[in-house]
Structure 1
Amino acid sequence: MSRNLLLKSGRLYAWRSSDAQSYVDISTPGIVTKTKEGGAGFATNAYLWPANDTSPNVAHCCTSLFDLANAFDCFTLSVDIKVSSSAVKASVRYDMRYHSVTEFGNQGIIGLDVSGMTEWTRVHLTVPLVQTKGKATSSLFCVFFADDSPAGGSLQWRNMKLEVGDTGSEWTPAPEDVLLSSIPESILEPGAISTGNTVVAGQTLGNMKSSDSSWMTIRIRTKNIIPLLGNRAFYINFPANLVCFPIYFDSSDLSVAAPCDAHTTKDVFIAPQGAVGVELVFKKSDNSAITPADVTNVTVGGTH
């Protein structure tokens, strides 16, 4: 699995434009809707620029795309796609660009057909660099609606990942967006936080820590609140034998009311409004004894 070259990729980047703006609604990041019927051969599309080193307002790449194109022969953009109904006929495409030279990738100029994908489906759009190698400066992610796709039909996307090579993978955040590269034993301690299934608002972390001896062997908690660094969502990657419970805190270090639900491996957590920090509690899925050493290979990444 390669690193994600896109920054803040857990958020939904805003659409930049369309070649048929009166026929498509691009007002909502992550979703585009066909609003009118076009004539035969009419291009109804929407697009955004995942990597563009010439326009800072649309640059989401960790480094210059020009430098990446110089160093590598192939890129793959992976993204989750879902259409609103089986009647929606659409395709998606990723390409590299340098002025008038365009590399359309192995899915062709028409793109990859995603018609009928009414459940979230991960697609991989690979671009071998031939024409634009060494000079590519921008990249385009584009959605096309077919002429006979119904008005009102929409396409959604999420979890975009740009990586080197010809094989796409599941979404992970860029290393630059990671809150903690690992969780060292020094910031962990035995015990739980007494909340039940729902956290009561306005409590301090100290008051919420449990001294119940039964929790001291089967739960591990971080000693202090972890700042979310402005992220509303964050990604946690941990072994399949662990379960994690997040507990959120506001700018006054007081608890934010939210369900205290168990999450399993490789989950994206969505913080409630007002949360600026999180306390993490871990246990083993079989409720056996746990130590700080069992948790040190967990990574926590910010996404948005």
Structure 2
Amino acid sequence: MTRESIHEYFQIGTLQWMSYPGIASADAVKKIASDSYFDAVEISPIPETERDGVKNLLDQSHLSVSYGAHAAQLQAGWNPNSLVEKERRYAQEQLQRCIDEAAWLGAATMSFLAGRWEEGRQEEHLGQLVKTTAALCRYAKLRNMSVELEVFDYDVDKRVLIGPASLAAEFAAAVRADCRNFGLIVDLSHIPLTHESMEQVVYILKPYITHVHIGNAVLDPENPAYGDQHPRFGCPAGRNDVTEVAAFLQCLRAEGVADKKKRLPLSFEVKPRAQESADIILCNCKRTLNAAWRRLE
């Protein structure tokens, strides 16, 4: 298997807003689209003045395009599992607008994250999140799109409902009962933050995984990179590097997630720090993934 390219098993991509923070969306997309290493790109909401330019670049690129609403959602505080129905409905409407933009830009999927974790009221929030997600899936289906929810931490940084793998599986099963155009994004960088093992997470969530992210995390509260900061591979105190990425790829292979027929997106979710070069950090990601893939038996 390792004699074959990893591109035979996954569409390799990166998150535009994470790899190139602080620069114009069109410039970031152009850099990624000009790099033949990438089969896919994940874009965030695009400023209105740049949308035509970004769409033109994506149309030229032959990249598989995904759309992540995370940045806008976190900044505005949309809570798709709010127990206040007016707030839940508002979050749903805003995410539907993201689906509209994603469809116009040519994205096949729109992804988001759950709202805040509230101890002792998980089941109530779960019902609200299922309601929102099912509505988004029905809305996306009219545009031939899918909806994905990314699994984050519940008690470290983002502190959102989904969350623990067991709850993520319960949630995904409930949505899938009526909506086949739904899946989960599992991110290696979030697994240390949920106090779980990669083997446990992949095994529990494998029926619902439609997208994979890889990145790093720091669990030392005294470290400036602590939490969901997505530092580079090889950073001091980081929990994931070549060894862990290789183990994660092995898990994905063992559980049938790495599959030539599926070729799920596998994207870097790594963010350069202020003193780091975005181009070099992206090359760091590619070197790390290549080295990890070579280690597989």
Superposed pair shares fold, TM > 0.5: no
Give the TM-score normalised by the residue count of structure 2.
Answer: 0.29
Name the structure where helix makes up a greater proportion of residues: 2
Name the structure where strand makes up a greater proportion of residues: 1
Give the TM-score normalised by the residue count of structure 1.
Answer: 0.29
Which structure is larger by alpha-carbon Rg, 1 or 2?
1
